[in-house]
Amino acid sequence: MNFKSIDQLNIQGKRVFIRVDFNVPMDESGTITDDTRIQASLPTIQYALKQGAKIILASHLGRPKGKPESRYGLGPVARKLGELLKKEVKMAPDCIGPEVEKMTAAMVPGDVILLENLRFHKEEEKNDPPFAQNLARLAEVYINDAFAVSHRAHASVEAITRLFPEPAAGFLMKEELLYLNQVMEDPARPLVAIIGGAKVSGKLEVLKNLILRVDKMIIGGGMAFTFLKSKGVSVGKSLVEDELIDTAREVLTIAEKRGVKVYLPVDCVVADKMEPSAQIQIVAVEKIPSERMGLDIGPDTIALFSQALQGARTILWNGPMGVFEMEPFSRGTLAMVRHIVSSGAVSVVGGGDTDLAIHQSGGSQKISYISTAGGAFLELLEGKKLPGVEALKK
């Protein structure tokens, strides 16, 4: 990798600014309902503690639109992090300003401070240089451990790096990039991509880029119906992006020319409405009733996709196979988790819905790598350069 990581820097006794991703879900009472992202940051924070650093953590939470909103305050995150670290995590009243500067100047080795929500200032998302300077004034070392926001050119991700001689990656960032770059640049083959989710439009550039790199591609979820319709299949009321039918056909043509086998559903679970109480039916994709919609892959498709995974040495997965949040339509996605786990391949998974499905299935410990990112994961799969990553390559 052509950037430094935290373990290559001397951080002993220094104030270390670590950009983390603590954008975690909370209920109305302010209770964190999933602390996965906080847990993912612990190796970097614990390493810095062992090195005797003074740790300043910075994150956003939600979309407060450039002004303070109590529901997006990071106080609950500071308390949760303190529980996980078994030490006090001090909560700053803001992320910049004289009071925050006084707090950080008084730190001693082993102290941990969490700055208040970066997005309480509109300058964060504008990548504002003076705002970045105010952040940089707090610390002597900069670490980016937030791959999930590294597709954004924001002040705490991009502009701030220009103000430190050796900006570096944390362990989470490093691990994300090692796995994803390996999959994209030098995978063990055969490489099989599984792409699902609702719409082709959200994954179009991913499909176009991956079709040039993979040996096989499996397409499921709602987006599969646009591809099926491009092949002349009547899909009832299933989700279809008619304006992308020609594009779907083009992707299939490119795959055929490259010798890449594309697997589409052969049967599906249909219903007249997208509700847990809906009456379901399993039909071949050519026999979807005109008044029904496909909401999950069927058993024959599960068997077909499982067969496609046999012999794979690397599997890349983004997007569920159906509306897995509802029990009647969850079986296809959960079955794919089981088949990926049993394949023996290196498995790399990304995207919030896919991540959630894997954790629900209990298979998370057997997946090689689960990315914490959504948008950044997709942009990397599209072949784009990420501002936060490029900024570390000094």
Instruction: Give catalytic residue positions.
Output: 37, 199, 352, 375
144: nearest Cα among 381, 383, 384, 376: 376
Fill in the amino acid letter for 332.
G
Q: Write out the two tokens for 63.
A: 């979309």
* Neighbouring C-beta atoms of residue 194, cutoff 10 Å: 29
Neighbour tally for 243: CB within 10 Å? 10
∠ CA 183-262-375, rounded to 5°:
45
* CA–CA gap between residue 323 and residue 197 (Å, rounded): 9
Contact between residue 78 and residue 84 where contact means Cβ atoms under 8 Å apart: no
Residues 6 or more apart whose Cβ sits within 8 Å of residue 187? 313, 314, 346
CA atoms within 13 A on the CB side of 317: 33
| SS (HEC) of 225-275 | HHHHHHCCCCCCCCCCCHHHHHHHHHHHHHHHHHCCEEECCCEEEEECCCC
Q: What is the phi/psi pair of residue 356, to 5°?
A: -60, -45
Is 10:48 a contact under the CB 8 Å cutoff?
A: no
Q: Give me 263's structure tokens.
A: 């697997």
> Beta-carbon neighbour count of residue 280 at 10 Å?
13
Structure tokens, 225: 């119906």
Residue 100 contacts residue 138 (beta carbons within 8 Å):
yes
Q: Which two tokens stand for residue 8?
A: 């290559």
Q: Give the residue carrying structure tokens 């939470």.
A: 61
